[in-house]
Amino acid sequence: MIHVRRAGALDTRTMAELLNAIIAAGGTTAMTALVTPRELQSWMAAPDSAWHLAEDSSGALKGFQYIEPHPDLPEGGVDVATFVRLGETGLGIGSALFERTKEAARDLGYRHIHAIIRADNAGGLAYYQSRGFEDFRRLPNSELADGSHVDKIWKRFEL
């Protein structure tokens, strides 16, 4: 059974561990540098953002999702990012997180949610498509922080 709740500063150690494993594996996130709990805490402090995590019945972290404003988005839009523990995708974790994220986005007054996904991340593209996101724009040859380049797909969900 998956339980979703708001994430807080005390959760950032395990969240950083989960995210760093995904970053180290490569290929599914545009992030290339490992993150620290302190960095996650500073991201969480962004105004008009919302962070949720999913735990199993033992309290083990299974994934997290957040929304935050981004200056490059159309008015009324918010950016989303989703991270599920390696090897545990397809188990309903992302679906449970997105239900809470949609509520939070509406409560914060957003009208649409945007996801920008690496074009080679088939699992991420399928996840957002299955939630009802529609293709908004293709971003060819996008540079990542490590200098590598990848195409990205920009998807949009209307609230």
Q: Which residues sit opposite 67 in a β-bridge?
A: 50, 80
pLDDT (tens digit per residue) in 4-48: 999 999 999 999 999 999 999 877 787 889 999 999 999 999 999
Fold of 3-158: Aminopeptidase (3.40.630)
Give the domain ranges of the chain. Answer: 3-158
Predicted confidence at residue 84, as pLDDT, reads: 94
pLDDT in tens, 81-98: 999 999 887 789 999 999
Write the pLDDT tens digit of every residue in 135-157. 999 999 988 888 889 899 999 99
CB atoms within 10 A of CB 24: 9
SS (H, E, C) the chain: CCEEEECCHHHHHHHHHHHHHHHHHCCCCCCCCCCCHHHHHHHHCCCCCEEEEEECCCCCEEEEEEEECCCCCCCCEEEEEEEECCCCCCCCHHHHHHHHHHHHHHHCCCCEEEEEEECCCHHHHHHHHHHCCEEEEEEEEEECCCCCEEEEEEEEEEC
Give the pLDDT confidence score for residue 90 in this predicted structure: 78
User: Can you give the pLDDT at residue 89?
Assistant: 79
User: For the ranges 60-64, 119-123, 152-156, which has the lowest average pLDDT?
Assistant: 119-123
